[in-house]
Structure 1
């Protein structure tokens, strides 16, 4: 299926909020236990600064995924590192869209001096762990049982990829 990847815009606010809250209520991929009342769009927009914030849309314009790179830390000495996140509706997974979004993020962060990507993944999100391993990320840390969702403990698994 053809997808268009473009910068997120204010008009995408509701679609991004709905998409993220889908994962909040159906999976361990998103950490909150309850949907964000005010939505996640503004939080992501504010956290990202000048880093890329993207959506993927179908031919009809329906937003079915979003991806973001954001500064990992506020210190100037760590500005070369970005944390990434993306969420793709389940029916659009497995068609190469995650790889396209990751590659687009890499393309856009290199010119702003980012050469190091980090991701934080729930230990229950095997699909994401496998995706990142396949795409050159390595596990660099694991915070054991720091999260609990729906009565289940989970680790935060940190992965890293150098893109310089």
Structure 2
């Protein structure tokens, strides 16, 4: 399957597929913070300000996406980016997240970034492990700041240098 997959720049025509993937996690997990699906009109907000917005696709269409955004929109923080990625559930645990992360890491390097951040729900243990395996370390935890599905959660901030 890996040979059939490729990463490319996200386009407006990817809206439905990207929102379908995002909304799956919004409805079913703590991976996306909304408590339910967002309308297609949210697509521009999802990628707003992105330095890099990419999709990974196979012959059947988009199966995942990733975003690299500035941490803050001020020049003092131009060397720090935040990463986000979501993979269609039937494609998880096949290395696609690693491929998307690799592309975003390269894009961060090409944009002169020195640090990457990720904020993750404490209930998303898989994502915390994924980031730790990619060289991220826990930088801090905001205790009890979120609630979804009637359950409180922390936001775990992780960071790693862009090397």
TM-score range, shorter chain: over 0.9
TM-score, structure 1 as length reference: 0.94
How far off its partner does 1:45 sit?
A: 2.5
Aligned partner of 1:105 in structure 2 is 104
Find the aligned partners of 1:47 and 1:63 in 2 and give their Cα distance. 21
Q: Tell me if 1:52 matches 2:52.
A: yes
Find the aligned partners of 2:98 and 2:40 in 1 and give their Cα distance. 29
- After superposition, the C-alpha distances for 1:65-95 in whole angstroms (9 at most, x for unaligned) are 0000001101101100001100011221111
- After superposition, the C-alpha distances for 1:4-26 in whole angstroms (9 at most, x for unaligned) are 11110011011111111111001
Aligned partner of 2:19 in structure 1 is 17
Paired residue secondary structure (1:131): helix
Paired residue secondary structure (2:64): strand
Aligned partner of 1:30 in structure 2 is 32
How far off its partner does 1:58 sit?
A: 1.3
Give the count of matched residue pairs.
Answer: 161
How far off its partner does 1:34 sit?
A: 2.1
Find the aligned partners of 2:143 and 2:82 in 1 and give their Cα distance. 20
Q: How is 1:124-163 mapped onto 2 (pairs within 5 angstroms)?
A: 124-163=123-162
8 A contact 2:15–2:40 mirrored in 1: no
Runs of at least 5 residues in structure 1 that lack an aligned partner in the other structure:
none
Structure 1's consecutive aligned runs of 4 or more residues displaced over 4 angstroms after TM superposition are none
